[in-house]
Structure 1
Amino acid sequence: MPQPESGDWLAQHVESGQTMKSYLISPYKTVPYGTHNTIYIQPIGSFNHPRAPPLDVINEFAKVFFSECEVELLPTVDFTYNMKKRDRGGVSQYLTSDLHKYLCETRSKRDWRRELLCVAVTMADIYPGDGWNFVYGEAVPSENVGVYSFARLDPLFYQVTAKEILRTPLIKEHSIIILRRSIKIILHEIGHLFGLDHCVYYLCLMNGANNETEMDREPLHLCPVCLHKLHSTLQFDVRHLYETFANLCDTYGLEKECKWYQNRLQYLQYFFY
């Protein structure tokens, strides 16, 4: 794990790390049981945006990464009048706790007999409270819900106005960046719901991130420590996960991730099979 730079997550947050032992005894992790094995992804607000990430593709990656669960993309719903929002420099931001509340209150409208957890995704900016500028996402493990925003994942977000972004054609380079960041966000945050704390041991999908530069340094895979934790809960076939994830990365142009997974598969084949 490299030394945190100024402005990085670990430069501003003191985190001692979560050992395997502490993970196993944590009461704040979701564990599939009985018929409760489905991860619902609930889009909130319009995704009719020329630069929005493809939800069906993100859903594919989530299905592979959490392969021992069912992953289902729900129909999009609108924001409701009682979801608090504020204006931040001309950008509307929604309060995460109201979105969490919505997911909890609408649980009966989903198949609660199958539901393990439900996560909301949105193109709107979000914030957890008055002391924060924004967050990429926030999970509530005690309620098995979370909300994640793709608003700031566009490379143009800090460069031009929202109206200019809408008028700017999406080039392939930006499309790949947006997709990669979106997948990282949702896998990272669902990882929290499965009890994974931020990782401080290696460069890992579960590292905390304060900004897009830091997010881009983080890989689209779990380190050995976090992989061990998640495997202890979901009992997936690691080789199958790596094979299918590598294939998806190859299909959607995530070249460096595809290469990493293929290299790990060669290592597994050489030493364990």
Structure 2
Amino acid sequence: MNPGKYNFICFYLFLILFFFSCQKKENTYIETINVNDARLSKAKPGDWRYSRDEEFQTFGDFQRLKKIKPEPGRNIIYLQPIGEFDELQKKEIELTQEYLNKYFQLETKVLPVLPDNIVPKTARRIFREGQEQILAGYVLDNVLIKRKPKDAVVVMGITEKDLFPKPEWNYVFGQASYEEGVGVTSIYRFSGGHVSDANFNESLERLIKISSHEIGHMFGISHCLNANCVMNGTNSLSETDYHFARACSLCQQKLNSSLHYDHKKRLLDLKDFFEKQHLNSEYLLAEKDFNLFK
């Protein structure tokens, strides 16, 4: 080959490679919404993070973890109400079903209500404020695991009575057995013991946060130390209210790697839910993420 022609070809190939190497790599959805993550504030006495030395779970840590994943024939989220619910409480459960369907992009169903007496007196106590409490571990081990439907990927129990995890603890918002894929939460604390028209939205927002948080754990996501996120640990209602219902970009990356949903459809579904329920702060967060698609 003519040396001049050979040099020309080499120079031409060099220009092509240089051109493509200079092209800006298009960011993924997760890389794009990272700008909308809100930094965690410094933990104060009484906060979950203040007295706990939890390890940061990277995406690689999550990938290596043995965890529950939906699979054909075992891919439905079930809610199991336990107790006697009034009409507003029933409405909260129905809306939680709708929300979890949109949040996880998995079919979500509500099982028939189980009566209070399914929990024996030995697994109950009267707390110092006068309300009856149910032992959360009993609900997990003796009710939910034994009744878990064959097509369930996870089951989330919802009680109208307060919950406690062990005798020395005052109460617990939620508890789960991650290996078995069952969890339980209570409406009681989210509404000050009584759901009303005035506190309905506040109570609902707390319920959807704790429910999606516990189910997120069942899918292998640890407490989030990355940003303000629904997967942050919480010790109090004020801490729960401070945390977003939005999962941060890292926790969304973990979730999507197991559930494989369409990000855009999920955001549209969540925006629709927040708008209809007048959960304005969460609507604006979903809108900010969605606008990055444009």
- Aligned with residue 85 of structure 1, among 124, 147, 151: 124
- Aligned with residue 76 of structure 2, among 12, 30, 38: 38
1:268 maps to what in 2?
293
2:147 maps to what in 1?
106
Normalised by the size of structure 1, how large is the TM-score? 0.87
- 2:78 and 2:136 map into 1 onto residues whose CA distance is 18
Shift of 1:228: 0.5
Aligned AA for 1:118? V
- Partner deviation per Cα, 1:8-51 (whole Å, 9 max, x = no partner): 00012221221111111112x21012211111100001112656
Checking the alignment, whether the CA contact within 8 Å between 1:53 and 1:179 is kept in structure 2 is no
Deviating above 2 A after TM superposition, structure 1's stretches of 4 or more consecutive aligned residues are 49-53
Which consecutive residues of structure 1, in runs of 5 or more, have no partner in the other structure?
A: none
- Aligned with residue 237 of structure 1, among 262, 268, 273: 262
Shift of 1:242: 0.7
1:19 maps to what in 2?
58
Query: What is the aligned-residue RMSD (CA, Å)?
Result: 1.6
- 2:274 and 2:58 map into 1 onto residues whose CA distance is 30
Which structure carries more helix by proportion?
2
Which has more radius of gyration?
2
1:139 maps to what in 2?
176
Checking the alignment, whether the CA contact within 8 Å between 2:119 and 2:138 is kept in structure 1 is no
Aligned AA for 2:135? L
Instruction: Please list, as runs of the form range in 1=range in 2, the aligned pairs for 1:154-233 lying within 5 A after superposition.
Output: 154=191, 157=192, 165=194, 170-171=197-198, 174-233=199-258
Checking the alignment, whether the CA contact within 8 Å between 1:127 and 1:134 is kept in structure 2 is yes
Structure 1 residue 65 and structure 2 residue 106: aligned?
A: no
- Say if 1:97 and 1:248 are closer, same or farther in 2 by CA, change over 3 A: same
Shift of 1:170: 2.8
- 2:262 and 2:133 map into 1 onto residues whose CA distance is 40
> Aligned residue pairs: how many?
251
- 2:205 and 2:91 map into 1 onto residues whose CA distance is 9
- 1:13 and 1:2 map into 2 onto residues whose CA distance is 15
- 1:217 and 1:198 map into 2 onto residues whose CA distance is 15
Shift of 1:142: 1.1
Shift of 1:245: 0.3
Q: After the TM superposition, which of the residue ranges 46-55 and 256-265 deviates more from structure 2? A: 46-55
- 1:55 and 1:181 map into 2 onto residues whose CA distance is 12
- Say if 1:133 and 1:252 are closer, same or farther in 2 by CA, change over 3 A: same
Aligned AA for 1:186? S
- Aligned with residue 85 of structure 2, among 42, 47, 58: 47
**Identity within the alignment, %:** 28
2:163 maps to what in 1?
126
Shift of 1:131: 2.6
Which consecutive residues of structure 2, in runs of 5 or more, have no partner in the other structure?
A: 1-39
- Aligned with residue 48 of structure 2, among 5, 9, 13: 9
- 2:283 and 2:144 map into 1 onto residues whose CA distance is 34
Normalised by the size of structure 2, how large is the TM-score? 0.81
Shift of 1:208: 0.5
- 2:56 and 2:167 map into 1 onto residues whose CA distance is 27
Checking the alignment, whether the CA contact within 8 Å between 1:64 and 1:245 is kept in structure 2 is yes
1:75 maps to what in 2?
112
Structure 1 residue 117 and structure 2 residue 154: aligned?
A: yes
Aligned to 2:225, the other structure's residue is in SS state: coil
- Aligned with residue 150 of structure 1, among 152, 162, 187: 187
- 2:53 and 2:251 map into 1 onto residues whose CA distance is 19
Checking the alignment, whether the CA contact within 8 Å between 1:51 and 1:170 is kept in structure 2 is no
Aligned to 1:9, the other structure's residue is in SS state: coil
